[in-house]
């Protein structure tokens, strides 16, 4: 059984036994076992954000990566602390979320009887599904990632030489595009799950898990901890 690090937490690589269920009207839906597995991935992700944030220190926050921002807030260090805490938690969330989406993809592909290959580098994912072999890069949206044109062209060329289908999957991007290699949110989730309304089902599941841990509470409590620590220094 394989394990993978997700923000410092060991995730067990899910086996290929998870299946989708057929509803009475013939539309595929997630099995209860798959739902439990996906929910566990989100729970671990949210727990890791809390654990990683608890490891932050005031020294690290104030002294590491000092920039013009620090100078701007030099007369109001408490505002600077608030800003840096929010940045740190948001960065951990965004970084971890892409790993969560990749883990989701593996579970859902295997649920359809697909094969996920290990070590897909430089791609995020490599798998075989319905007789087709794919390599994928998984990003939020065109606007929110720093994915550059040169890297994109290199990946497309590499896939073409290997005679493998390349897809740039934008899991939170709903606009249609003329580029055949881009899968927007709906098409991406449909491909990896085999379910027509997959995005709605999966985001509902993620929202349900997220309601058990408040990111805003983590930011607020960490901010007050550091502000109180700073005041005690004075």
Q: Where are the domains of the chain?
A: 1-21+28-112+199-234, 113-193
What confidence score (pLDDT) does residue 158 get? 92
Residues 6+ away with beta carbon under 8 Å from 132: 165
pLDDT at position 5: 38
Spatial separation of the C-alpha atoms in residues 108 and 15, rounded to whole Å: 11
pTM: 0.72
Q: What is the per-residue pLDDT across 110-164, written as a single tens digit (0 to 9) for each?
A: 988 999 998 899 899 999 998 999 999 988 765 544 557 788 888 999 999 999 9
The CATH code of domain 113-193 reads 3.40.1350
Question: Which residue, among 206, 190, 209, 210, has the nearest Cα to 198 in the 3D structure?
Answer: 190
Q: Which residues of the chain are under the pLDDT cut of 50?
A: 1-20, 22-27, 144-145
Q: Are 126 and 114 in contact (CB under 8 A)?
A: no
- Give the pair of three-digit tokens for residue 173: 């991007």
Q: Is 168:136 a contact under the CB 8 Å cutoff?
A: yes
Strands 182-183 and 165-170: parallel
Q: Which residues contact 114 (CB under 8 A, 6 or more apart)?
A: 127, 128, 129, 130
The pLDDT value given to residue 71: 58
Q: What is the pLDDT of residue 165?
A: 93
Predicted confidence at residue 69, as pLDDT, reads 59
User: What pLDDT score does 155 carry?
Assistant: 92
pLDDT value of residue 182: 87
Closest CA to 165 of 128, 195, 212: 128
């Amino acid at each position: 059984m394989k394990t993978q690090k997700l923000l410092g937490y060991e995730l067990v690589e899910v086996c290929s036994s998870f299946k989708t269920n057929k509803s009475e009207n013939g539309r595929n839906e997630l099995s209860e076992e798959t739902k439990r597995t996906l929910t566990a991935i989100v729970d671990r992700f949210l727990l890791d954000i809390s654990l990683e944030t608890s490891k932050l220190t005031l020294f690290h926050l104030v002294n590491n990566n000092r920039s013009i921002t620090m100078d701007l807030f030099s007369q109001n260090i408490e505002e600077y602390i608030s800003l840096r805490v929010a940045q740190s938690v948001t960065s951990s969330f965004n970084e971890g979320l892409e790993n969560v989406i990749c883990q989701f993809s593996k579970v859902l592909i295997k649920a359809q009887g697909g094969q996920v290959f290990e070590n897909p580098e430089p791609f995020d994912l490599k798998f075989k599904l319905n007789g087709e072999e794919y390599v994928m890069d998984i990003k939020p949206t065109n606007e929110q990632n720093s994915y550059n044109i040169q890297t994109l062209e290199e990946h497309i060329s590499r896939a073409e030489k290997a005679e493998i289908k390349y897809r740039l999957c934008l899991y939170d991007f709903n606009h249609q595009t003329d580029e055949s290699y881009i899968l927007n949110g709906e098409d991406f989730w449909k491909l990896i799950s085999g379910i027509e309304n997959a995005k709605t089902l999966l985001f509902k599941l993620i929202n349900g898990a997220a309601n058990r841990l408040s990111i805003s509470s983590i930011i607020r409590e960490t901010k007050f901890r550091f502000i109180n620590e700073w005041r005690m220094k004075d």
